Amino acid sequence: MAFDVGDKVIYPNHGLGVVEAIEDKTIMGTTCGFYQLRMVSSDTTVLVPVENIESVGLRRAVADDEIDRLYRRLANGRIDNHQNWKGRFKDNSDKMRSGSIEDAIEVLKNLTFLSKSKSLSFREKRMLDKAKFFVVSEISEVSNEPVKSVDERVDKSLERCFASKARAAAAAASRAKKTTKTAKASTRSNSRRTSRAVRAS
């Protein structure tokens, strides 16, 4: 994958940047090409060796026509309930390192949902803030919408997600209750038949 000057790219764990220049530099006698990125969040410059872009996970920002798909993913009601703290933290950390906005969305949904029922640890709270920042900043930059507007739309999508999950949980509980009632009724019916058969004999 190659980038051009002006391309918007995502540098995992750093966020969204813009390719400002592509130049050769000689370091310790070795000359190689570098992408010069201006990181949007901090307005700092980062140099990434051209030959290392795959190993560091540098990727192109999502296209404008993918934005609606990302909002649908935010609102789809699917949430990973990982109860074990160590396992949850490792899974979420791996997703954040991937640089994928889809993975950042999953972390955002999982931790936001968890925060509604318990206090997050300092590290998880920081990870939640970072996930939301990555999602909001990329969508805002790509769609040319103000950060505040994107942030509000992301929050509304999360609310729909949690409402959808609650409805699914209620429906599952209702089905389980009906199944239990049916099983009990069947047991009583079998018991009565057995009792009548014993009396008849």
DSSP string covering 75-144, please?
HS--------HHHHHHHHHHHHHH--HHHHHHHHHHHHHHHTTSPPPHHHHHHHHHHHHHHHHHHHHHHT
Predicted confidence (pLDDT) per residue in 73-125, tens digit: 999 999 987 778 888 999 999 998 888 899 999 999 999 999 998 899 999 99
Homologous superfamily (CATH) of 64-161 is CarD-like, C-terminal domain (1.20.58.1290)
Could you state, in order of their start, the residue ranges of all structural domains in the chain? Answer: 8-60, 64-161
Please state the separation of Cα 113 from the chain's center in Å.
Answer: 12
**pLDDT of the residue at 182:** 66
- Going by pLDDT thresholds of 50, 70 and 90, the confidence category of residue 43 is confident
Rounded Cα distance between 159 and 148, Å, is 17
Residues 1-26: tens digit of each pLDDT: 689 999 999 988 788 899 999 999 88
Q: What does the mean pLDDT of the chain come to?
A: 87
pTM score of the predicted model:
0.76
The architecture that CATH gives domain 8-60 is Beta Barrel (2.40)
